[in-house]
Amino acid sequence: MPLTEKPGNWSCIVDGKAVVDSGAILDLSCEMPLGDVVRYWGQDYTFRGPLSVRVLVSGDRTCLSVNLSLKGTAEVPCARCLEPALLDISGDFLYFYRPLPECSEGAEPAEGSEEDVVLVDSLETELDVSCQAWELLILTLPEKSLCSENCLGLCPWCGVNMNKVKCSCSSGQADPRFDVLAGLMKRERDHVPGKGGDSDGNSKK
């Protein structure tokens, strides 16, 4: 079954008490297994190996700053030709763990960084940050991917992969069965960055 939520075997434990007591920065690495396909954005992402997560933790008993960085490699069908597209997945996010009730003082996010607050019963205990790693993974997955920027996609008339086969359908009568596909490809090309006109050669308004 494709994964739509955090795998049950994910775990990345931070010793909050050690950070609070020492005042030092904790540098931790975790590997998150991804043996199953991740399904999100209406797509299936097949990962090649586990997800690598690096965790940097600092702070005191009022607030812990937890910076997560992740890296991985996945395959997903190309949005134009449906062939496998290889993706380098990476991202980072800054979380702030605070005890209940949320404190009014504590570490502040670095200028220009993103942040989110996670409330826990106590900071001076073991904290599992795997839920935040899963959240970051989902935020990092692209909604649409291409096998290459120059992908020609599928022919809207006969459906062949135009990266592999050169056909002469463009001068013939369109097969009505592919009208929907033709419309989708037209909209895709009209939104390609850097184009001065639409797919019919008209100037964009």
Below-50 pLDDT ranges, the chain: 103-114, 192-205
Residue 184: per-residue pLDDT: 60
Residue 144: per-residue pLDDT: 87
- Alpha-carbon torsion, ordered 21, 10, 116, 38, to 10 deg: 160
Distance between CA atoms of 55 and 26, rounded to whole angstroms?
Answer: 8
Residue 45: per-residue pLDDT: 94
Residue 25: per-residue pLDDT: 95
> Could you tell me the CA-to-CA distances from 140 to 27, 97, 164, 199, 201 in Å, in that order?
22, 21, 31, 30, 34
Q: Which alpha helices (DSSP H) does 1-129 contain, by range?
A: 16-22
> How long, in residues, is the chain?
205
Give the domain ranges of the chain. 13-140, 152-205
pTM over cut 0.85? no
76-125 pLDDT, tens digit each = 999 999 999 999 999 999 999 999 875 444 444 444 344 589 999 999 99
DSSP state of 158: T
Structure tokens at 20: 């609070």
Distance between CA atoms of 53 and 72, rounded to whole angstroms?
Answer: 9
Distance between CA atoms of 86 and 146, rounded to whole angstroms?
Answer: 9
